Amino acid sequence: MHTIIVINPKGGCGKSTLAMNVAGFFACWGVAVELIDLDPQSSCLDWLETRPQSLPRIAGDRSFAFEPAHKRGIDYRVIDVPSSCFDDATQTLLVDADTVIIPLMASINDFRATMKFLKEVEKLRNRIDGKNHIGFVANRIKHNTRSFSYLKEFVRQTDIPCRGVLRDTQNYVRAAESGLSIFELPGRAVASDLRQWQRIIRWLCMDQSVSVHIPLPVAYEQSEF
């Protein structure tokens, strides 16, 4: 089983939206996925409740089941970690995760909060083994703006790569309202968004049997860093 956590103590940076769409991708491409919602607001679980039964199933819970995920046939587990939380349990999640997604928005408050978080992460470096993959996902980005330039400069000042850039669009709102992921909206409406997801997906997919079914060819991947 591959564990992906979405974490950043800064509120409002899009953690739940990213977690929903990552889980939605794996469900669409035939992988057994579990979405763990540790946030008291339960946005991910609310999303799952509105998800049509006709769509690929995503298992959901607000805590870890007693029975190990691999015994329940879960291939990928996506964990939405609440804001303002970096306690011992959260640190254990960070150390044990196979992949760590850090959502990052283009604002000075997000940069400051994220830098404080990275300083805490640095203290755990001796406990994070070589299998751990950490990356930013720039979220709700308006291109050709000064704030986006500042975000790129902020990322360059860290030793953490940016794995993808997602634009600011109402498509994510439309999808969430109906219990859908971006991958389940009409293709023509989300073509730009799917292109932006390619680099993120290829980073997350450790199983080549999943990677080969990614909808757009490598040539269409967008790199903005």
Tell me what pLDDT residue 217 has: 45
Tell me what pLDDT residue 105 has: 94
* Domain coordinates in residue numbering, the chain: 2-220
- Over 123-149, what HEC string results? CCHHHCCCCCEEEEEEEEECCCCHHHH
Tell me what pLDDT residue 207 has: 62
Tell me what pLDDT residue 141 has: 94
Per-residue pLDDT of the chain (225 residues; tens, 9 = 90+): 889 999 998 888 999 999 999 999 999 988 899 999 998 889 999 999 999 999 999 999 988 655 555 556 889 999 999 887 778 888 888 888 999 999 999 999 999 999 999 998 888 877 776 555 899 999 999 988 999 999 999 999 998 999 999 999 999 999 999 999 999 998 888 999 998 998 899 889 866 555 555 554 444 455 666
Residues, the chain: 225
Superfamily (CATH) of domain 2-220 = P-loop containing nucleotide triphosphate hydrolases (3.40.50.300)
In whole angstroms, what is the distance from residue 53 CA to residue 74 CA?
A: 19
168-177: Cβ within 8 A, 24+ apart = 168/140, 168/141, 168/142, 169/193, 172/17, 172/21, 175/21, 175/24, 176/17, 176/20, 176/47, 177/50
Tell me what pLDDT residue 15 has: 95
Tell me what pLDDT residue 4 has: 95
Query: If you ran DSSP here, which 8-state letter would residue 84 be given?
Result: T
Residue 80 DSSP SS3: strand
Query: If you ran DSSP here, which 8-state letter would residue 54 be given?
Result: T
